[in-house]
Structure 1
Amino acid sequence: MGTAGGDTGTKAAGWARFVVRRAAWVLLVWLAFTAVVNVAVPQLEEVAGRDSSPMVPGDAPSMVAVKAMDEAFGNGGSESFVVVAMERSSGLTRADRLFAESLVDDLGALEDDVVFVQDIRQPGLRKALTSADGQARYVLVGITGATGAPSSLRQVSAVRDVVRDRAPDGLVVEVTGPTATVVDLTVETEESVLRITIVTIGLIGLILLVIYRALAVPVIVLGVVGLGLAAGRAVVAWCGMEDFFAVSTFSGSFLTAVILGAGTDYAVFLVARYHEQRRLGVDPVRAAGIAASRVGGVIAGSAVTVVLATLCMVFADLGFFNTTGPAIAVSIAVNLVLSLTLTPALLALAGRRGWAEPRESRAGEVWQRVADLVAVHPVRMLAASAVPLTLLAALFPLLDLSYDIRDPLPEEAESNRGFALLARHFPVNEVLPDYVLVQADHDLRNTRDLALIERAAAAVEQHEGVALVRTVTRPTGEPITQASVAYQSGEVGDRLGDAKARVAEGAGGARQLADGATRLDDGASQLAEGAGQAVTGADRIATGAAALATRDLHDGDQVEVAVEGLALVHEALSRKSLTCGLDPACR
């Protein structure tokens, strides 16, 4: 139990006395401040929606790859994409085709939000984006907001509005994809936080009513918490609007949860110390001042610790942390000031009218016994308190961690409905694959690099959980038949077989060539023989001519010699030509 009186000489005590003496003015100032900032400053969600800070830092490997892919294969302006999936179980109609083609212009008109739309009017592309059963089709839409960025919420919503307004009757249309999933998760979180906040406030009020058995205490505590939440959100929104730090859609959700807990604790500490002073017979106004001066240091220490810890999150690279930490720090600081001023003021106002008086309770005796037991047997109590903590920690190995952001969403979420639609008609992960970007300082379209890419694809395919791998060498997920080793071996075998057949066909020609060579040799021999005879005849003619010239021979002998020489020449030339023996056709 405490003693009556307080620290009257400290600055904290002087500030506390001022607050409780001007209690009405303090209440009016906080009401006015909260009203003004909430009217003058847009709501936190609106300010967050203007921000385009990504949740994942731009230098993360995945974001670097996405940027490089967009520059190489896209238009260089999209930060993320969504998928417009459509289905008609009876088969897509001409009206459905016209609707899909109209999206190119209709969504393209959203110049501030949409960067590109796949031109499904091209026959080849339309065929690739249509399921084999002809019942479903999808279109990729690039948007300027990064996945998880607040601006992506507005952009996905705009795409969904256009699609819903123009869809033909009977055609099921869903906007899905990774970005749409994060948007649905954010919206679901905000709706859940609203429900949780209402339930939490109700439970806090019920617990306070049961413990203090006075309606004024729950009203004071919840009033301080509610006013602190409104003021804190407005100040955070102003800081985000003035670019002191970035805020995201998650900032408001976590800020609300922290303020509900911290604001309640601060108020309960003050109420407990106020009741302690009232039980000692201190008048209400002075009791409220003493409570604020004595417990204010404890509350301030607790709040400053939280402020500094959450401010350190500003140095984090992940957008989820660097947008949430500063927002929580600022809201805690606002609630610290509000709790140390407004709560004592309200206790003073209520105490003057007897509305916040403590009730008789045996709970104090119970807690006194517990305190005495802890003081007498500290080691035993420490061991006893560690038992439930150990039992809870033992359950940690049973925790099943999941990195699938679709798991927390209900099945009726639009993005999940879209994924289910695509799964019914297209291969696994048709629009949600993992990409591996391969870059080089030269053209990869050569046999060596394509073979390396195929080897890499085959290696990745062996990993557990990998269902399908698509590359330039396997565009459909299956290796190109013509590029397989078995196919190439068969091609080599077939060509060797053809060569063998051609060699066999050429054997007859080789024999003819050998025969021709033999005949060529015979003709050459005959040519040599004929040439010899011609030479002999020429010699005789020359001899005869010489004899005629010298007149040593008689006329008859001269004629005989000449005739014999001419006969030899005639015989040598009787085969048409001297070279005829070389040509088998002359024979």
Structure 2
Amino acid sequence: MFGGIGRLAVRRPWLTILAWIIAAVALGLLAPQLKATTDQADFLPSHYESVQVSRLQEKAFPQQETPAAVAVFQRSDGGKLTAADKTDLGKVVAGLQDRKLDRIKSVETNPQSVSPNGRIALASIFATVKDPYDVKVSESVKEIRTDVKELLAGTELRAGITGAAATALDSQESAGDTDAMIMQATLLLIIVLLLIIFRSPLIAILPVLIIALTFMVATGLISTAAELGGLQADSSITAILIVVLFGVGTDYILFLLFRYRELLREGHDPKPAMSEAVGRVGETIASAAGAVIVAFLALLLSSLGMLRAMGPALAISVAVTLAAALTLVPAVFSLLGRKAFWPSKSWRKQPGHGLAGRVGALTARRPGVVAAVSGGLLAVLAVGAFSFNPAFDSESSLPKDLESVRAGEDLQRGFAAGQTDPTWVLVEAENGARLKQADLDAYRQRLTAAKLGQVTPATVSPKGDVAQFGVVLREKPAGDRAIELVSGPLRDAAHQAAPDGTRALVGGTSAVLADIQHATNRDYSLVFPVAGIAIMVILGLLLRSVVAPWYLMLAVGLGFGATLGSTVWLFQDIRGEQGLLFTLPVIVYLFVVAIGTDYNILMAARLREETRRGRSPAEAVREAITRTASTVGAAAFILAGTFGVLLLAKNSMLQQMGFAVAFGILLTAFVMALLLVPAVTTLLGRRAWWPGNRNTPVGDGESHRDPSPEKPHETVNAGAGSAT
């Protein structure tokens, strides 16, 4: 089948290229814009308590407003605010109100906005839209910061702006243009590495252009699917798509070009060589893509909309990349023929395979030692994963010199950390009955007695059937301690103290994050096993074996643990950070497990090919490592280098993500795929391929002579399902 696809693309190259260009242009012009959301509560299922609170608030208190940002005022000398200072503060607030900025409804303060110790005063900034992450709101907050400095000139006061909108603005500016940084780093790495490997400017540039065209088609299809299917996408999907498409796309192009070059070295003409290369490596590419696609689609089982929306989008991007690798790439390079390698003539010479050959020979001679050392290294690193502590406080990862961070710390000098973002406790009467004030007063007393935070008096809805209490926690709402308090003691106390004939619900930022934590743990226990089983099935079909998929997936699990454990040790134990990005296991799953499995598939397919051609297990592993090391190494360096750029970011969570994926990909490629998997396969011998026919020479309808052991490099291209 894959040989037929290759021959069709080679025979009709211009038609194939034109079809891709038309698809990219049409989708670019006609496809809708991909919508995004940054409100994590939007991604939780409706049965979670925090979501129920949000909906009940909208119904019972439609006029309730929460500040989009908060201005924190204090004296320049840190002393108590004087009467003159308070007068100046009032003038500043009035001046801000007169500016009438876009999507800013009002700027308000009152005597209660002064802290009990008299050192801090607050002014609430209300927006005309409910989403504090709205771009226009952030732009107006930026203008307010400039205006405040002007209005405070000549006074003894200084101020800083914090709150959701201010934090979102600082996060964006702190991270810089992350998408552009990732794109530029990826392009540079791809071009430089391909130039080093092939010594041809055409081969260095063409894959970038091909993947860029694929990116246009994929994003168009994703946005169309999102529009037609009502799919929500997280705001980070664009950056992830860039890495997936360029990382996976480069992998598949390298798989194909390395095999194409092998065939040219053996004397094949360019067009037949490209057709045969697709036939030989097509099954490996399709299997690798299939493993990645099912891993991404397993995210559909997630209860978090953030992950559920990400899965289909990434699966579509990989499917498009697979189609391009099997059609567009052969069409382009069949037109160029041997000129693609100009001006280098090294493609005509058989490579020396110095280091790769020595590694292959060592693994063939001492498979037990290699398996023990490589597996032991991964196991030791994986121990750190047991200390993984998920962190939900995105503000803690921001640089400490940002205004929103400094202002938040200043606020805590006069108020509790949860002052501007209280936890909400709602009491709802059954059957729409009116609540009794005496019951509400008693309920507030019971909540106060729990000593979890300051409890505000009840606000009763116009219908009288819902009452709302604010609980101001001493801890930061997004901090570990606040999440622990809300998910356990506060919810328990609120539920147990509810008056007869009512139900109590707890919501707010801390409650949302507590529910996300619960949903994430549930998703990990379901999504990962399902994805593992699906990948095992694909491996079994590719390798025609029920044995190999088991140890391959065990190796993948060990690599996952080693990646997560290494990150824990570096950031939690060495750098002393309180926790790691709570989505880090998913990120490792997406990029290290799913994409990194490509390298295992590449190696396993080549091992199977060499074994089926009559080689002994030792000869097969030596040949497979020698032939695949350059492909695996080049692909891994490109993907790892792309994420490694994130280590330059000031945001510690971006640094965590960059290190985890970069280091994990290198572990997967150089420890697992090139050492552990070949060593274990050698130890198992031909049993690794049971019950497949292990000794039958392979072919795809054409005649291929099995090479003799004395001349292992003459016809290494033979073998269905082979890898580069």
Counterpart selection for 2:280 from 286, 289, 294? 294
Secondary structure in 1 matching 2:70: strand
Q: 1:449 to 1:18 in 2, by over 3 A?
A: closer
Q: Aligned-pair distance for 1:73?
A: 5.0
Counterpart selection for 1:203 from 173, 177, 189? 189
Aligned to 2:135: 154
Counterpart selection for 1:55 from 43, 51, 71? 43
Aligned to 2:417: 428
CA deviations on 1:76-103 (whole Å, 9 max, x unpaired) are 6x6x652231536466575753553576
CA deviations on 1:258-303 (whole Å, 9 max, x unpaired) are 1222111111101111111111111222212211222112212221
The equivalences for 1:119-268 within 5 A come to 120=108, 126-131=110-115, 133=118, 136-139=121-124, 141=126, 144-145=129-130, 152-154=133-135, 156-157=137-138, 159-160=140-141, 163=144, 167=148, 169-171=150-152, 176-178=162-164, 181=167, 185=171, 191-268=177-254
Q: Aligned-pair distance for 1:25?
A: 4.0
Counterpart selection for 2:265 from 279, 292, 306? 279
Q: Aligned-pair distance for 1:416?
A: 2.6
Counterpart selection for 1:97 from 90, 97, 103? 90
Q: Distance in 1 between matches of 2:350 and 2:14?
A: 31
**Would you say the 8 A contact 1:231–1:334 is kept in 2?**
yes
**Would you say the 8 A contact 2:300–2:308 is kept in 1?**
yes
Q: Which amino acid aligns with 1:430?
A: Q
Aligned to 1:419: 408
Q: Aligned-pair distance for 1:406?
A: 0.9
Secondary structure in 1 matching 2:418: coil
Q: Which amino acid aligns with 2:391?
A: S
Q: Distance in 2 between matches of 1:135 and 1:377?
A: 70
Counterpart selection for 2:455 from 458, 470, 480? 470
Q: Distance in 2 between matches of 1:92 and 1:315?
A: 56
Aligned to 1:31: 21
Structure 1 unmatched runs, 5+: 1-10, 462-467, 479-587
**Would you say the 8 A contact 2:194–2:204 is kept in 1?**
yes
Q: 1:144 to 1:243 in 2, by over 3 A?
A: farther
Q: 1:260 to 1:274 in 2, by over 3 A?
A: same
Counterpart selection for 1:405 from 394, 399, 403? 394
Q: Distance in 1 between matches of 2:471 and 2:391?
A: 29
Q: Distance in 2 between matches of 1:50 and 1:419?
A: 21
Higher RCO, 1 vs 2 (CA within 8 Å, ≥6 residues apart) = 2
Secondary structure in 2 matching 1:407: helix
Aligned-residue Cα RMSD (Å) equals 3.9
Structure 2 unmatched runs, 5+: 77-83, 153-157, 459-468, 474-724
Q: Distance in 2 between matches of 1:201 and 1:354?
A: 19
Q: Distance in 2 between matches of 1:250 and 1:428?
A: 28
**Would you say the 8 A contact 2:38–2:234 is kept in 1?**
no
**Would you say the 8 A contact 1:284–1:352 is kept in 2?**
yes
Q: 1:81 to 1:316 in 2, by over 3 A?
A: farther
Q: Which amino acid aligns with 1:391?
A: V
CA deviations on 1:538-567 (whole Å, 9 max, x unpaired) are xxxxxxxxxxxxxxxxxxxxxxxxxxxxxx
**Would you say the 8 A contact 2:424–2:470 is kept in 1?**
no
Q: Aligned-pair distance for 1:336?
A: 1.3
Which is higher, the Rg of structure 1 or of structure 2? 1
Q: 1:243 to 1:405 in 2, by over 3 A?
A: same
Counterpart selection for 2:55 from 37, 56, 67? 67
1:383 partnered with 2:376: no
Q: Distance in 2 between matches of 1:136 and 1:449?
A: 30
Aligned to 2:312: 326
Secondary structure in 2 matching 1:137: strand
Q: Aligned-pair distance for 1:348?
A: 2.0
**Would you say the 8 A contact 2:3–2:276 is kept in 1?**
yes
Q: 1:57 to 1:164 in 2, by over 3 A?
A: farther
Q: 1:420 to 1:349 in 2, by over 3 A?
A: farther
**Would you say the 8 A contact 1:411–1:417 is kept in 2?**
yes
Q: Which amino acid aligns with 1:18?
A: L
**Would you say the 8 A contact 2:419–2:472 is kept in 1?**
no
**Would you say the 8 A contact 2:28–2:220 is kept in 1?**
yes
**Would you say the 8 A contact 1:212–1:359 is kept in 2?**
no
Aligned to 2:445: 454
Q: 1:135 to 1:176 in 2, by over 3 A?
A: closer
Aligned to 2:601: none
Aligned to 2:326: 340
The equivalences for 1:300-315 within 5 A come to 300-315=286-301
Q: 1:438 to 1:280 in 2, by over 3 A?
A: same
Q: Which amino acid aligns with 1:454?
A: Q
Aligned to 2:461: none
**Would you say the 8 A contact 2:102–2:140 is kept in 1?**
no
Aligned residues: 444
The equivalences for 1:572-587 within 5 A come to none
Q: Which TM-score applies when normalising by structure 1?
A: 0.64
Q: 1:458 to 1:157 in 2, by over 3 A?
A: same
The equivalences for 1:542-581 within 5 A come to none
Counterpart selection for 2:11 from 14, 21, 24? 21
Q: Aligned-pair distance for 1:366?
A: 4.2
Q: Which amino acid aligns with 1:279?
A: R
Q: Aligned-pair distance for 1:386?
A: 0.5
Q: 1:82 to 1:258 in 2, by over 3 A?
A: same
Q: Distance in 2 between matches of 1:364 and 1:54?
A: 53
Q: 1:298 to 1:81 in 2, by over 3 A?
A: farther
Q: Aligned-pair distance for 1:339?
A: 1.8
Q: Aligned-pair distance for 1:17?
A: 1.8
CA deviations on 1:300-354 (whole Å, 9 max, x unpaired) are 2221232233233234332321221121111111111112122122322333425
Q: Which amino acid aligns with 2:415?
A: F
**Would you say the 8 A contact 2:69–2:126 is kept in 1?**
yes
Secondary structure in 2 matching 1:411: coil
Q: Aligned-pair distance for 1:33?
A: 3.1
Q: 1:28 to 1:312 in 2, by over 3 A?
A: same
Q: Distance in 1 between matches of 2:340 and 2:147?
A: 64
Q: Distance in 2 between matches of 1:459 and 1:332?
A: 52
Q: 1:449 to 1:35 in 2, by over 3 A?
A: closer
Q: 1:227 to 1:187 in 2, by over 3 A?
A: farther
Q: 1:244 to 1:341 in 2, by over 3 A?
A: farther
Q: Which 10-residue stretch deviates more, 321-330 or 195-204?
A: 195-204
The equivalences for 1:76-115 within 5 A come to 81-87=67-73, 89=75, 92=85, 96-97=89-90, 100-101=93-94, 110=103
Secondary structure in 1 matching 2:353: helix
